[in-house]
Amino acid sequence: MMDRRHALAGMVAMFGAGLFAPLARAAGVMPAAGVIDQGAPSLQLFTPDQRALMTALCERILPATDTPGAIEAGVPAYIEKLLADWSVAEDRDPIIAGLAEIDARSWQDYKIPATKASAAQHDALLTLAMNDQIPKGEEFFEAFRQMVIVGYYTSEIGITQEREYLPVPGEYNGAFPYSQVNKVYSA
């Protein structure tokens, strides 16, 4: 089975120069702040409400369909670990501030905290962030989206259920009909 660090290195090309700094550190492109263990995050970054909102937004970016979504793939825990152990304070600021701005906008638009918002309201709030219609929304959205995508596609679920994992994919067949391609392969 492929390990997460090896998969992260393959994701670097997808985001190029716009790669969120903690992801670059985890992939080995930038120097890390120290030794990272496999356990719980070294810092408690999120309040319970921020964690709940972050989890809900992860699921809106990669929801469960015929394959598991971001929550089942452990993306929220991955994001918290990434921010706690692979980032510096200035990397965390856009995420923490973005969650606060989304919550403030939810209060303004819907008169409820963002943690109580519906899926459609979360989608609307993420769209506002994506379009930079909340303070520093685009900065939050780009970093958050990258973490969700990388977290999902480097998880066991992302590698084995969303994609087809074949360590040695087999022989080359140049005449294989594209209509018979089932999943994108990852190795």
pLDDT at res. 183: 67
pLDDT at res. 178: 75
Residue 27, in any domain of the structure: no
Average pLDDT of the chain is 81
Residue 73, in any domain of the structure: yes
Tally of structural domains, the chain: 1
The answer on pLDDT for 31 being more than 50 is: no
| CA gap 136, 95 in Å, rounded | 10
pLDDT at res. 22: 65
The answer on pLDDT for 48 being more than 50 is: yes
Write out pLDDT tens, residues 36-45. 556 777 778 8
Residue 23, in any domain of the structure: no
Token couple for 39: 């356990």
The residue behind tokens 């969700």 is: 148
Residue 142, in any domain of the structure: yes
The answer on pLDDT for 11 being more than 90 is: no
pLDDT at res. 133: 96
Residue 81 belongs to domain spanning = 47-61+68-165
User: CB 54: neighbour CB atoms within 10 A?
Assistant: 25
pLDDT at res. 90: 87
Task: Summarize the confidence of residues 12-34 as an average pLDDT.
Answer: 56
Task: Summarize the confidence of residues 11-31 as an average pLDDT.
Answer: 57
Tell me which residue of 67, 57, 64, 52 sits closest to 119, measured CA to CA. Answer: 57
Amino acid code (one letter) for 7: A
Q: Which of 49-53, 95-99, 140-144, 167-171 has the least mean pLDDT?
A: 167-171
Residue 1, in any domain of the structure: no
* DSSP single-letter state for residue 158: I
Write out pLDDT tens, residues 117-162. 999 999 999 999 999 999 999 999 999 999 999 899 888 888 877 7
Residue 137, in any domain of the structure: yes
